[in-house]
Amino acid sequence: MKKLMITAVAISALGAGVAMADGVVAPGDVKFEDGAVAMSLTGVPGDPSKASELMDRKFGNCIACHQISALDLPFPGEIGPPLDGAGSRWTEAQLRGIVSNAKMTFEDSMMPAFYKTEGYIRPGVAFTSKAPEGPLDPLLTAQQVEDVVAFLMTLKE
Partner 1 sequence: MTRLLRATTLVSAALVSVGLALPVLADEEADLVVNGDLKMVTHAPAPAHLDGALSEVISGWVFRSDETQALQMDDFDNPGMVFVDKAMEVWNTVDGSEGKSCASCHNDPAESMKGVRAVYPKWNETANEVRTIAAQVNDCRENRMGAKPWKYEGDDMAEMEALIALQSRGMTVNVAIDGPVQSTWEQGKEIYYTRYGQLELSCANCHENNYGNMIRADHLSQGQINGFPAYRLKNTKLNTVHDRFKGCIRDTRAVPFKPGGPEFTALELYVASRGNGLSVEGPSVRN
Interface contacts to partner 1, rule CB under 8 A: 57, 61, 63-65, 74-79, 110, 112-113, 120-127, 129-131, 136, 139
Residue 143 DSSP symbol: H
SS3 10: helix
List residues bridging with 33 in a β-sheet. Answer: 36
- Closest distance to partner 1 from the beta carbon of 81 (Å): 12
Which of 10, 24, 26, 64 touches ligand HEC by CB under 6 A?
64
CB nearer to ligand HEC: give 19 or 149: 149
- C-alpha to C-alpha distance for 97 and 133, rounded to whole angstroms: 28
CB 74 → partner 1: shortest distance, Å? 8
120 forms part of the interface with ligand HEC (CB under 6 A): no
One symbol per residue from 23 to 42: x for binding ligand HEC (CB under 6 A), - otherwise; what is it? --------------------
* CA–CA gap between residue 94 and residue 90 (Å, rounded): 6
83 binds, among partner 1, ligand HEC, none (CB under 5 to 8 A by kind): ligand HEC
Cross-strand bridge partners of residue 36: 33
Q: What span, in angstroms and rounded, lies between the C-alpha atoms of 72 and 39?
A: 30
> Is 19 or 48 the residue whose CB approaches ligand HEC more closely?
48
Closest CA relative to residue 59, chosen from 137, 157, 150, 152: 137
- CA atoms within 13 A of residue 155's CA, in its CB half-sphere: 24
Report the interface residues with ligand HEC, using CB under 6 A.
Answer: 55, 60-62, 64-66, 79-81, 83, 86, 89, 95, 98-99, 102, 106, 109-112, 114, 148, 152
